[in-house]
Structure 1
Amino acid sequence: MGILLPRMLHAKQYLRRPNLTSIAKDVPKSHLPVFVVENQTMKKRHVVPLSFLNHPRFQQLLIKAEEEFGYDHPTGELTIPCNEDMLINLTSCLAYS
């Protein structure tokens, strides 16, 4: 678990950004809004539990997102470069495991 700590610190720093408050008004406590980008014009919003951030499969998505978009997004949103079905399948698996 110590290996995942630096990425978790990035996520915590990201969550403290002041411009996230306008995005996260309807997000339940202990959840995180993420945006899925399938192509350059299509972006869909999903809400996932914060506990998923520790899972290795979700960590892979976060690494991919950091490589493609970085954590310093101008609008303050976490954008994941995958298709919507992949995120839904992953969150379903994590929810029932």
Structure 2
Amino acid sequence: MMGIRLPFMVHAAKQTSSSFKSNVPKGHVAVYVGEMQKKRFVVPISYLNHPLFLDLLNRAEEEFGFNHPMGGLTIPCKEDAFINLTSQLRAL
């Protein structure tokens, strides 16, 4: 079985705004992904301009508008689909 490497993956947890910022390296953005249980992923900001990632952002806008329940950007998709997408983006 081949492993999938992601830049960072941290389980979602309640955090203060200062600890939230300190866990995100410069040039990256934290997003919450999942349907029931949300997990926190930290991805490069370069992903934000890719058409596949923009599709996810558009779906997030349609579902949540500017009200993101986790306090950060929440993307409404299955975790395995997000991992697959970010793996494709890393391969580019």
Number of the residue aligned with 2:31? 34
Number of the residue aligned with 2:54? 59
Q: Does 2:25 correspond to 1:25?
A: no
Percent of counterpart pairs with the same letter?
A: 57
1:90 to 80, 85, 91: 85
In terms of fraction of residues, the more helix-rich structure is 1
Residues 36 and 83 of structure 1 are in contact (CA less than 8 Å); yes or no, is this contact kept in structure 2? Answer: yes
Q: Which amino acid aligns with 2:33?
A: V
CA 93–74 in structure 1, closer or farther in 2 if over 3 Å, else same: closer
Residues 37 and 43 of structure 1 are in contact (CA less than 8 Å); yes or no, is this contact kept in structure 2? Answer: yes
CA 22–74 in structure 1, closer or farther in 2 if over 3 Å, else same: farther
Q: Secondary structure at the match of 1:33?
A: strand
Residue correspondences, number: 77
Cα displacement (A) at 1:38: 1.4
Query: What is the root-mean-square deviation of aligned Cα atoms in Å?
Result: 1.8
Residues 32 and 49 of structure 1 are in contact (CA less than 8 Å); yes or no, is this contact kept in structure 2? Answer: yes
Q: Which runs of 5+ in 2 are unaligned?
A: 1-15
TM-score, normalisation: structure 2: 0.74
Number of the residue aligned with 1:10? none
| Deviation string, structure 1 residues 33-65 (Cα, Å, up to 9, x no partner) | 0001312xx111001100000000000000000
